[in-house]
A and B are shown apart, each in its own frame.
Chain A
Amino acid sequence: MTDWKRTAAALDPPIPDADIEKLLPVMEALEASFRPLQASLTPEDDVWTGPEDFS
């Protein structure tokens, strides 16, 4: 899992320590939901490129 505190500290401008704590549960939950979806991608899965991809 990502070390969100370390990532946040490396940003410019940094996210103040007092604000990082409240981000953690949300980011951890989002990551837990996103990683399995990401793992399902295959090399053939190209990026969405705009409205032409809707049809």
Chain B
Amino acid sequence: MHDALRAKKVSSLELTNQALDKIARENPRLNAFITVTSDSARARAAAMDAELSRGLDRGPLHGIPIAYKDLVYTKGVRTTGGSKLFKDFVPDHDADIVVHLDHAGSVMVGKTGLHELAYGITSNNPHFGAIRNPWDTDRIPGGSSGGSGAAVAAGILALATGTDTGGSIRIPASFCGVTGLKPTFGLISKRGVMPLGWTMDHMGPITKTVRDTAVSFHAMTGMKDGYVPPPHADIRGLRIGLPLNYYFDHVDMEVAQSVRTAVQTAAALGARIVDIKVPDIDGLNVVGRVLLLAEASSVHRPNLHRRDEFGADVLTLLDQGRLIRGADYVDAQRLRRVYIRDFSKLWSQVDCIFTPTTPTPAPKIGQTTMKVGDGEEDVRLATTRFMRAINVLGIPALSIPSGFTKSGLPIGLQILGAPRAEDTLLKIGAAIEDATGAVNRHA
């Protein structure tokens, strides 16, 4: 798109109109958008075209249509958080990432739907309706950034933003067959984004390709540019950790096979595969649950007397959080430090770690339990099993499509790295993407 804009083969206004047409066509089927900003988008696109005509080029996102998850403050544009409580809330200022992406020249076409208050993984929203997976509209797109995942998978946009507190970028990326990056904790500003858990929240991009993720990530941090993987990125000698424990223990067979195939692909490209044993991920997940339950209930404490205005699943979680004692929360933060120290020892052995993103492909809308391997599990706990711990650790995690099930559902590969090792993840992700071609399939 960027090159076509520079070559004047297409204008930002044309791209924006195409995106708006796709929203009009696809949103009745997918329910991916809560708000569409057609008029302001066209005006902004025309302004970006005028800048390019004058020779002002803001970079690769100049004139590109994007959307924000509807918990990102957008000045003068309704920001609901997917909640009845905020259905008419209009911020008087932009979030930092909006400022950064505006500065990069992007064009906002709307606000994407989400799980209520970003507190869940289905995006089956009781106030704004269920968001549907473009690959199979009877299935969830994942959440909480479900609208962003669905919009990118359906080819409406190249970039939509997400937030990730326990997997909310990576789950939609996995279930929708797109790319999502949860960067190192704190690298992207959260100012102006409705919080869920202050010490667990991360901002990040959801895009079709790894290179689009790279460009978007740098723009979201406010940097003018940064590492974008070149064609045929060289991963020879990179050490990829393959966990011998936990990550392949209770996993759908097709998911496990797809991730192992990605490992073989990386090896064929010259990467070195290193068997590793990961620390106690179940323990990390428990710590993560204690932290998030307490923090989310603190975030929403001012509204807890309005019980009727919360969906049942979110209210249950908020009630659970109110029962966490202060000393237990502090001990969870102490355990977090212990786990971070233990996990960081792995980075002397490997440069990154491959795992499945989710243990299964997308479940059906309304499904509360599902079969995983040889057992039956709660959908929310199973889906976050490989991710919640990563938010506790704060390390970067990239989810890319590794393939598809026989029934045509996307499978996600999660690539983990050391703090601030985003460039390594982007490089290896691009190499896998180029080699597998999974990204070339469209919903």
Contact = CB atoms under 8 A, between A and B. Distances in A.
A45 B338 contact: yes
Interface stretch (B60-68, B167-175, B284-292): B284-292
B328 interface: yes
Nearest to A52: B186
B186 A51 contact: yes
A18 to B, nearest CB: 11
A6 B334 CA distance: 27
A7 B323 contact: yes
A29 to B, nearest CB: 10
- Which of B289, B319, B333, B337 is packed against the most chain A CB atoms within 10 Å? B319
A27 B185 contact: no
A23 B337 CA distance: 28
A17 B283 CA distance: 31
Given A23-B320, A27-B320, A48 B337 contact: yes
Interface bin, chain B: 35 or more
A33 B323 contact: no
Contacts of B283: 33, 37
Interface residues of A, number: 29
B384 interface: no
Interface string B291-323: 000000000000011010000000110011011
B184 A51 contact: yes
B313 to A, nearest CB: 11
Question: What is the predominant secondary structure among interface residues of chain B facing chain A?
Answer: helix
Contacts of B334: 41, 45-48
A49 B330 CA distance: 11
Interface in A12-55: 13, 15-16, 19, 22-23, 26-27, 30, 33-34, 37-38, 40-41, 45-48, 50-51, 53-55
B305 A13 contact: yes
A23 B319 contact: yes
Contacts of B146: none
Interface string B330-362: 111111111010001000000000000000000
- Which of A13, A46, A53, A54 is packed against the most chain B CB atoms within 10 Å? A54
B243 interface: no
Interface string B392-416: 0111000000000000000000000
A16 to B, nearest CB: 8
B228 to A, nearest CB: 24
Nearest to B284: A37
B419 interface: yes
Contacts of A27: 320, 323
A30 B290 contact: yes
Given A4-B323, A27-B320, A37-B287, A54 B335 contact: no
Nearest to A31: B328
A22 B319 CA distance: 10
Contacts of B307: 13, 16
B331 A38 contact: yes
Interface string B2-14: 0000000000000
Contact of B328 (A8, A34, A46, A50): A34
B337 A53 contact: yes
Given A38-B331, A47-B334, A50-B186, A15 B340 contact: no
Contacts of B328: 34, 38
A46 B330 CA distance: 10
Given A41-B331, A47-B337, A23 B323 contact: yes
A11 interface: yes
Contacts of A26: 320
B184 A54 contact: yes
Nearest to A34: B286
B333 A47 contact: yes
B323 A53 contact: no
Interface of A: 2, 4, 7-8, 11, 13, 15-16, 19, 22-23, 26-27, 30, 33-34, 37-38, 40-41, 45-48, 50-51, 53-55
23 contacts: A4-B323, A11-B323, A23-B316, A23-B319, A26-B320, A33-B283, A34-B290, A37-B283, A38-B331, A38-B335, A40-B335, A41-B334, A41-B338, A45-B334, A46-B334, A47-B333, A48-B334, A51-B184, A51-B185, A54-B185, A54-B340, A54-B393, A54-B394
Task: Give 7 closest A-B pairs by Cβ, nearest first.
Answer: A54-B419, A51-B186, A48-B337, A48-B336, A47-B333, A33-B286, A45-B334
